[in-house]
């Protein structure tokens, strides 16, 4: 199958799953800030691994992933209605920590930068 088609279907699934999670899932166990960061689709379009970033505590992250796994049948049905494919892909959800990791790296860089500025201030007063 064409890599271009797999990429296009993957982008469409990402967009639709994001909308389904934000608008149609009414489960209180879902974290308030849940975003779909990517979709890995098999070449035959039968399996989709949805990567989700959740902002919150570890318990909230775990509860959100479990809730999404339980709702995967509903989400798959909605995807089938929105995208016309021969086979609607089986969906599995995976926690993506890349955004959280990026925020951590950003905070480390900022703290190092602030330490560097405070060292410059101290060295200037000694002269």
pLDDT of residue 95: 92
Which three-class secondary structure state does DSSP give residue 37?
strand
Average pLDDT over residues 9-23: 94
Domain ranges of the chain: 3-96, 98-127
Is residue 127 pLDDT above 50, yes or no?
Answer: no
Given a contact cutoff of 8 angstroms between Cβ atoms, the answer to whether 14 and 39 are in contact is yes
Domain topology for 3-96? GMP Synthetase; Chain A, domain 3 (3.30.300)
Average pLDDT over residues 81-108: 89
Average pLDDT over residues 66-95: 94
pLDDT of residue 65: 93
Phi, psi of 97 (to 5 degrees): -100, 10
pLDDT tens, 85-98?
Answer: 899 999 999 998 87
pLDDT of residue 1: 62
Is residue 19 pLDDT above 90, yes or no?
Answer: yes
Quote the Cα angle for 61-39-22, to 5°: 55
């Amino acid at each position: 199958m064409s890599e271009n088609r797999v990429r296009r279907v993957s982008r469409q699934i990402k967009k639709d799953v994001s909308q389904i999670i934000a608008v149609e899932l009414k489960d209180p166990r879902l974290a308030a800030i849940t975003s779909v960061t990517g979709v890995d689709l098999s070449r035959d379009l039968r399996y989709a691994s949805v990567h989700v970033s959740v902002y919150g505590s570890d318990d909230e992250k775990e509860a959100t992933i479990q809730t999404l796994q339980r709702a995967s049948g509903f989400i798959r049905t909605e995807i089938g209605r929105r995208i016309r494919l021969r086979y609607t892909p089986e969906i599995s959800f995976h926690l993506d920590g890349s955004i959280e990791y990026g925020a951590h790296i950003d905070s480390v860089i900022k703290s190092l930068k602030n330490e560097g500025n405070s060292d410059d201030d101290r060295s200037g007063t000694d002269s």
